[in-house]
Structure formats: C-alpha cells, structure tokens
Structure 1
Amino acid sequence: MLGLPKGKVFLIAWTAEWEKEFIWEKTQIENELGELILAVHHIGSTAVKNLSAKPIIDIGIELKDYQHGSECVQGLERLGYAYRGTNILPDRHYFSKGEPKTHQIHMFQTGSLYLEKILAFRDYLLKNDAALNEYQELKVKLSQKHEKDKLLYTDEKTEFINSILDSLGFN
C-alpha cells in the first residue's frame, strides 16, 4: 500500500513491495534523467527492513552540481512528479508524486551533509537491531499522538535521530 493523504499520519508495517517499488521508480528516473544524476538512493523508513513507515517512498538523488536540479524538472514531471522547489526543505530540490502522496524525491548535490546524514542514519538502523526497535516504538507512539500533524510527528523524532548521528560523529 502506498499513499498518505494530506493532514494524516499513519504507519504501515514494512513490506518487500516497498523495495520493489523503489527499484521500479529508480529505473524510470535513471532512464529519464540519465547523465544529469550521479546516484539514486532509497531513503527514509521504507528503506529499512522491519521498520514501519508512512506509506511514501522516499528517494534521494545525487547531482554533480546542485544547479542541475532545475534541468531535471521536465523529466520528472513526465514521470508524474510535481516540482515543489528549493524552499520546502534545506539544500535540496524537492518533488512529490501522487495525491495522496506516494513518492517524494530529495535531490542533493553530491557531498551534501544532509544526504550524508540521511544515508548514515538509514545504514545505522539497518545494522543495529536495538536502535531499530527503539525507533520503531517511538514512531508508533508519535504517529498515534500526532495522527493529524505531520510536522509535530517529524519534529519529535529529531532528538532520537540526532543522538544517533552524534554517536556517528555528525555534530
């Protein structure tokens, strides 16, 4: 199942279908954008086996040059994405797909600290069952507490995420 309506927060148990959906979407993106991009990463909770997630596939795209993001707009629009600009989230071009939203793209210049943190946190959860379980419990609690407020849900996860990143040397 994919799709999160506006104004809602709920989690779905992890499913292998998310990985298949990412691989399909990655192939479409690579075919459409070609040499404009360096790499396509599955990010966010749908990328972490056994972690419940909002049913949105998060995709991180690396660009050689940040300015190439604007050159990707038409190609991603052909794939059904809407360009939301660079003012939604820091240091990235942001795109979303579907209503309810099924996919979102965070497009960074290679070497971006934000992307490095996202990938490091994902990889840590993939290797650390205790942290995965703790994060799972936190997400469930917060999704129930903030079922109509995605910003509060996200904000209240920040302390946990930052504690992991601090332990990995990100300050």
Structure 2
Amino acid sequence: MSDLRQVQFDNLETAVDDARQLLASGYVRHGNWSLGQICRHLVLVQDYAIGGYPAWMSLFAPLRPLMRWLLLPKLLSADSPRGFRTSSIFQPPDDLEDATEVEAFAASVGRLLDHSGSFAPHPGFGRLPPGKILEIHTAHAAHHLRHLRSQDEPS
C-alpha cells in the first residue's frame, strides 16, 4: 500500500491535469493497469452516467439505500477499498496508447461537466444529484490514478 500515492482531487478537471502530468513525466505502475487502461476504464464508467447503464446493472436496485449508507462514504474517502473486480464491460484492453486515452478521458470529463440534464441512476447508489455524481467520478479517478507515480516523484 505504501507505493500508492495519496491522491484526492477537488474536481474532475484536476484528475485530467494529473493524468496529463503523468503522461508528460512518465510514470511507474503500482497496480495492474497502465495510464491508458485507467483512462479507458474511467471513460467507460463515466459515459454510462449520461447514456444510461445496462438494465442488468439495476438488478440490485433494492440494495441501493444500504449501499449509499455503508459503501459510498468509504468509496469517497482518500483510502477507498482495493481489489473489487470490475464488470467485463468496464475492463480495458491491454494494447492502448496512453496519449490517446488521456485525451479521451479529458473529452469524457468535458461531456460530464457540460451535461445539463439529470444523470442516469448509478448502479450501486441510484439517482443522485449531479454534484454527488461528479464527486463519485472524481473519487473514482483518484482511486485508480493513485496506482501510478510520476517517474520524477520519490516513492
């Protein structure tokens, strides 16, 4: 755990800045995914917030109040839990170009921030105010980007 950066972003734009900085400086991986894979994963998850999640992801909708109460505060903390397997639809392929995926992440963040309607209900937490959805995606970005450390940064 000590190899992970302590990362908390104030907003998604700061997460994009961090990804661009890691791209510019080079990075050391302390997890399973490259910068490109992390950015693709973030895009896959974020884009469903606007377009709607697959129907099967609502199977556990009755548990959402419990998940909001028990799990959401932990996920929003700086020390969010590790080791959860993600659904195959959110798994990035291995052969991604970091620069392309960082810019795709930036574009996805732009779509989220420019979105004026309501967001799709989150599969785990249900319908939430736009600010809370953005907070979840910001914490999600920090959760994954903390597994990369700039080559210029001591470990």
Q: TM-score, normalized by length of structure 2?
A: 0.30
Which one has the bigger strand percentage? 1
Greater relative contact order, per chain length (Cα 8 Å cut-off, separation 6+): 2
Q: Which structure has greater helix proportion?
A: 2
